[in-house]
Amino acid sequence: MGAKVGGNKGGPVSEPNVIPFIDILLVLLIIFMVTAPIPTVDIRVDLPPPNPVPIRLEGLNPTIVGIRETGAGLAIYVDEEVVQLANLGDVTLTHAIRNNPALNVQDVYAEARIFVRADQSTAYGNVVSVMSQLQEEGFAKVGIFAELASEG
């Protein structure tokens, strides 16, 4: 009887089977890729320097846009004048021109400070929609009016 040619066929294999392991890893990778959060809204945020310096408005008077949630819905105020979201840009422009008479219309869009003020109970989405509306109307310097926790 001669020696077997081709090695040991049918005997135990000492190499691990990694195919099921790779299949499980691929399934987990797909699950994590599908469930990963996707950012939906981008808001440009200008962070202050590490040692904040008080903002000098240099003769510019800010226009305050207030947001309050009432039982009837969302109430928007521009310098205490009630406005609708559709008319927000025009009314804000009128108030910004009145608050800064030295600026022409294009300079008002570029230089006028518009501060959005809302209560803590106001939904974040409402604040973002008002800020987005003002930026879409062309106002370059839209910010949030903040109070210290001890003031509120």
How confident is the chain (152 residues) per 10-residue block, as mean pLDDT? 57 83 93 79 71 61 87 85 87 88 83 87 87 89 72 51
pLDDT of residue 112: 85
Q: What is the pLDDT of residue 25?
A: 94
pTM listed for this prediction: 0.59
Q: Domain 63-144, CATH 3.30.930.10 — does that match?
A: no
Q: What pLDDT, on the 0 to 100 scale, is given for residue 55?
A: 56
What pLDDT is attached to residue 35? 85
SS3 per residue for the chain: CCCCCCCCCCCCCCCCCCHHHHHHHHHHHHHHHHHCCCCCCCCCCCCCCCCCCCCCCCCCCCEEEEEEEECCEEEEEECCEEECHHHHHHHHHHHHHHHCCCCCHHHHHHHCEEEEEECCCCCHHHHHHHHHHHHHHCCCEEEECCCCCCCC
pLDDT at 29: 92
Domain-wise residue ranges, the chain:
63-144
Predicted local confidence at residue 4, as pLDDT: 53
